[in-house]
Amino acid sequence: GRAYVANAKINNRNYPDRIFKSPVHQYDVFTEDLIVDTALNDGDEIVKLVSYADRILIFKHNAVMILNVSQVQEEIESEFKGAGIDNPGAVIVTPNGVTWVNRNGAYLFNGEAIKSLNQRQESTS
């Protein structure tokens, strides 16, 4: 029952690494006091947010964080260094999960975990 935005400008202040949440069922209202605690001031801005089931993937340039939004208080479940993106167009939601590519390879979040798709398959011919 909430909306989430990131890398926003509120009251003429830029917040490149902060996530704001709306009041319940007020999807277009955002204030500076309704925030989600993440790794603030880590020098890495948020590039994109993607929701999948009861999780929000927080894409930064250098990392991806998994935010669980199934409870009243949101919680960062995990962070994956080196899996971030530079371009919001590098992410797509598929029937199998959220997939993305970066300079280190390709990844899939299936609703439970992030998996690297970089491992080579051996030929069985």
Task: Give the pLDDT score at 122.
Answer: 54
User: Cα separation of 30 and 20, whole Å?
Assistant: 6
Nearest to 60 by CA among 74, 80, 71, 46: 46
User: Cα separation of 50 and 37, whole Å?
Assistant: 17
User: Cα separation of 57 and 62, whole Å?
Assistant: 13
The amino acid at 92? I
Strands 91-94 and 75-81: unpaired
Q: Where are the beta strands (DSSP E) in 22-62?
A: 35-36, 46-52, 55-60
Q: Tens digit of pLDDT per residue, the chain (125 long)?
A: 889 999 999 889 998 889 999 999 999 999 888 988 776 667 789 999 999 999 999 999 999 999 999 888 899 999 999 999 999 999 999 999 999 999 999 999 999 899 999 866 554 55
Query: Helix (H, G, I), strand (E, B), or coil: what is residue 87?
Result: coil
